[in-house]
Amino acid sequence: MRTALSVRLVRALIVLVVVAPVVVIVPAGSASAAGVSITWSKRAGGLVQPVQVTTARDGTGRLFVVEKAGRVRIYVAGRVLATPYLDIRSLVDDAGEGGLLSIAFSPRWKTTPYLWAAYINNAGDLRVARFRASRYTANTVSRSTLATTIDVPHPDQYDNHFGGQVAFGPDGYLYISTGDGGGTGDPDGDALSTRSLSGKVLRVDVVGAASRCGRPYCIPPTNPFVTSTTAKRSIWALGLRNPWRFSFDPVNGDLWIGDVGQSAQEEVDRIRAGAGGKNLGWSCREGRQVYNASRCSSGTTYTGPLYAYTRSYGTSITGGFVYRGAKYRGVITGRYIVGDFGSGRIFYSTRSGLRTGGSLPGITSFGESGGRELWAVTIDGGLYRMAARLR
């Protein structure tokens, strides 16, 4: 991710920190304690700037790989199908950190085959749109089925910090990450403002929304600003720089966010299930330190990162997943696996901090298979499957 997509695409993952344990990163091969070795086997190549790998959990064994320019490809039975699953390149502005950024399949996929996509439209704004497959097993989806769910305005002068993750939480709601709007230091102060959709994690109710509220999305009744007359009621969390990748732990529902720092620290933030309204601090804080004191408020409680690391270990964090698969249950179950695009390091969580477990240069995104085994894609077009063992 240090090409046009590169540095800026991942440096777009920022969240603020105030209350959290100090993080220690132990290099691989340290004699301090036994550890875990994480390796990656390449399963496909030739993809074009892939930025996500995901699954519909529909029993077909398919993985779906999102390409930045605007295509979704299918990987199944050991190969990438020639025909794209979805092709919206004519609708996508992929300059800078733009492009087709992620997709998410409906929790009711088998009976109501809708999927949602986050992309930068030709006006330069972040758009989340719904598409409809003819049936859940179909290997193509027509772009003519597009229905816009929500647009997040983006400043014309910047082509970075869009956010761009969409994912359904265990509660059945759609979560959407948005960047602070670009530029250095959040020049407009949008991330901390509840009047702006930028620099946030949004939570909306989209499955069956038309019949319930007559709109593309409804506001969940437990959203933190649901009764506000001034705040954007779709906001779930605020104070983020650019949360490029987040995920949910299916066991407890916790939300994990990987956040790329401005210039000093990379961080991992965890929001407990149901804990809406957390302020992660940007641009008052970057990682565990003050970034812009003029943006800090003595009356505000900021939630600090669970983990943070400096430029000694990496420069662009790629948020990952808590491992809940079966294959390596006795090795890394319950550990958060995360990487750094800049250094290529792969980390896993421990009680004392993050530990280096391996490397995968150019990692843009992690993903899960239907059985929750971990996969990853790299900016040079590779699709990889993870393996892990005790050292």
Tens of pLDDT, residue by residue over 311-324, are: 999 999 999 999 99
10 Å Cβ neighbour count for 299?
4
**Contact (Cβ atoms closer than 8 angstroms) between residue 209 and residue 216:** yes
How much is the pLDDT for 260? Answer: 84
Structural contact between residues 121 and 110, judged by C-beta atoms closer than 8 angstroms: no
| Share above pLDDT 70 across residues of the chain, in percent, rounded to a whole number | 91
Structural domain boundaries of the chain?
A: 6-390
CA distance 149 to 119: 12
pLDDT digit string, tens, across residues 336-374: 999 999 999 999 999 999 999 999 999 999 999 999 999
Query: Could you tell me which residues come within 8 angstroms of residue 345 by beta carbon, excluding any fewer than 6 positions away?
Result: 313, 314, 339, 356, 358, 359
- 9 pLDDT band, cuts 50/70/90, is very low
Integer Cα distance of 186 and 2 in angstroms = 21
Mean pLDDT within 73-97: 98
Mean pLDDT of 142-154: 98
Strand partners, 368: 374
The pTM for the full model equals 0.93
Rounded to whole angstroms, the Cα distance separating 391 from 385 reads 19
Was domain 6-390 assigned CATH 2.40.160.60? no
CA dist 28 and 31 (Å) reads 9
Question: In angstroms, rounded to a whole number, what is the distance separating the alpha carbons of residues 164 and 102?
Answer: 6
135 touches 113 (CB < 8 A)? yes
Distances (CA, A) of 117 to 15, 132, 316: 23, 11, 24
